[in-house]
Amino acid sequence: MNVLFVLAVVLSGLAAGAALNGVLAMIPALRSLDAATVLEVRHAAGPLPSQMTVVLATGAGLAGAALLAFYGNLGSDAQALVAVATGLSGVVLGAGWFAMRVQMSLCEPREEPARQLALTRRWEYAQLVICAASLGALACYASGAASVP
Amino acid sequence: MSGVLDVITVVLSGLVAGGLLVVQLGLVRTVAVLPAAASIRLHVAFDHYVERSMPALTIATLIVGIVDSAVHSMPAAAAALSIAGLLATAIVAAISQLVNVPMNATMRNWEPGTAPREYASLRVRWDRAHLARTLAGEVAFVCFAVALVLR
């Protein structure tokens, strides 16, 4: 049980830290650069940061699901917190997948700036969702680990 | 109260570790393949914003972790892991302030759109220092997380 809690906390924490850095630093940094540089950056970066989020959220969600499935003695508080965290990991997984798809579309050069801007906004909203959900998952897993009787 | 401080320490440490990891896997790799002038522009723009949040999160981890360790008794293994986590977090702060932040300031002062000759060697030193602080940050986070479940 302890190993699963450590795994869930560590994976969700890495996803949350990565997402927070994306929202607080990468989004404003990309907004401050010219369009040609942003395209170069997106080509060079590829979907790896979003893939990292998907992998971490999947691992955290699986660890949470295993805790719920195999340990009935977590106590009601810890069980509820782990259930919420597992659900939030699912949200991170879905939004990370969406961000990855949008990121791949953003790598294609386009003639229409309006379409590029719309895709950029979708990518930014996905990052906000990932950030909020992964922070929630981390807080819930850590609180759950602390509240096991 | 003890449980709250434990959880806050783990959350803050996780945010530091995840922030460092995404820079290692995302930014370092990206600037390595970009042309020099574009990679300097990206690095300077990113660090302008990241220097507002990461130092605050690192210092907050240290403060909450020290208070938690000082005011609450815990099993020996958890206490040892908490101290190891604090030391590793202090290493992250030291490498950042002594190596990476001064290099960021150097890059900010370069003429925009140019790539000075010393950029290649500075890039290598920045990347090495970042790898070292990332490893320290991950170790700190794992120590705090294991300490949390052992209490």
pLDDT in tens, A119-128: 889 999 999 9
| pLDDT for the residue numbered A2 | 86
* Residue-wise pLDDT tens digits, B18-68: 999 999 998 999 999 888 888 999 999 999 999 989 999 999 999 999 999
Closest CA to B98 of B129, B53, B52, B56: B129
pLDDT band, very low/low/confident/very high, at A59 (cuts 50, 70, 90): very high
| pLDDT for the residue numbered B1 | 52
Residue A32: closest CA among chain B residues belongs to which residue?
B45
d(CA B7, CA A74): 17
pLDDT band, very low/low/confident/very high, at A110 (cuts 50, 70, 90): low
| pLDDT for the residue numbered A129 | 95
| pLDDT for the residue numbered A104 | 84
Nearest to B26 among A9, A49, A139 (CB): A49
d(CA B25, CA B61): 23
Which residues on chain B are in Cβ contact (under 8 Å) with A88?
none
* All residues at 6 or more sequence positions from B44 whose CB lies less than 8 Å from its CB, including other chains: B104, B107, B108
Q: Is the pTM of this model over 0.95?
A: no
Nearest to B14 among A52, A138, A145 (CB): A138
Q: Give me the mean pLDDT over the A83-94 stretch.
A: 94
Q: Give me the mean pLDDT over the B109-136 stretch.
A: 92
Q: What angle do CA A28, A39, A23 make, to 5 degrees?
A: 25
Q: Give me the mean pLDDT over the A96-119 stretch.
A: 82
Q: Is-contact B7 B145, C-beta < 8 A?
A: no
Give the range among A24-28, B2-6, B85-89 with minimum mean pLDDT: B2-6
Q: Is the pLDDT of residue B151 over 90?
A: no
| pLDDT for the residue numbered A39 | 83
| pLDDT for the residue numbered B57 | 96
* Residue-wise pLDDT tens digits, B91-117: 999 999 999 999 999 998 888 778 888
| pLDDT for the residue numbered A111 | 65
For testing contact with chain B, the best of A3, A11, A41 (most B CBs within 10 A): A41
d(CA B126, CA B44): 13
Nearest to A28 among B26, B49, B148 (CB): B49
**Residues of chain B contacting A, Cβ within 8 Å:** 3, 6-7, 10-11, 13-23, 25-26, 29-31, 33-35, 38, 41-42, 45-46, 48-50, 52-54, 141-142, 145-146, 148-151
